[in-house]
Amino acid sequence: MACRITELVLDCRDPEALAGFWCEVLGFVVLDREDDDIEIGPREGAGGPQPTLILSRSDDPRSGKLPLHIDVNPTDRDQDAELERLLAAGARHADVGQTGEESWVVLADPEGNEFCLLRTRLG
């Protein structure tokens, strides 16, 4: 039997603010709060095919580019329309050395964590 990813943990300074951002981006809801951690995920709850995201309070300074990042796909609009929505939600463009020829857009969440908006549309 193999393992599967059930949750991703992101250290952050302000879990509440970041939970609001990622809930808006992913259409997630807050599933649980424990101490300073907030778990967000699909409305159906944890344990389904999508991993949940745990925003874990940390005051440790981040240095450099994250070794792991999140890729998101628009589900009901094209990449340009989704880019406008994400920027309005608080994302900003990020430069990680891309050439400008990529089919994806590199963004950062309100705490500077990079993620990519892909062109592919999922249904």
Q: pLDDT tens digits for 99-115?
A: 989 999 999 999 999 99
DSSP-derived pairing of the beta strands 105-108 and 29-34: unpaired
Q: How many domains does the chain have?
A: 2
Task: Detail the DSSP E strand segments found in the chain.
Answer: 7-12, 29-34, 37-41, 52-57, 70-72, 92-93, 105-108, 114-117
Residues 10 and 55 in one domain: yes
Of 59, 85, 103, the last residue of a domain is 59
Residues 40 and 86 in one domain: no
State the pTM of this model: 0.86
Residues 1 and 55 in one domain: yes
Q: pLDDT tens digits for 24-42?
A: 999 999 999 999 999 999 9
Which structural domain range is residue 22 located in? 1-59
Residues 83 and 123 in one domain: yes
CATH number at residue 48: 3.30.720.120
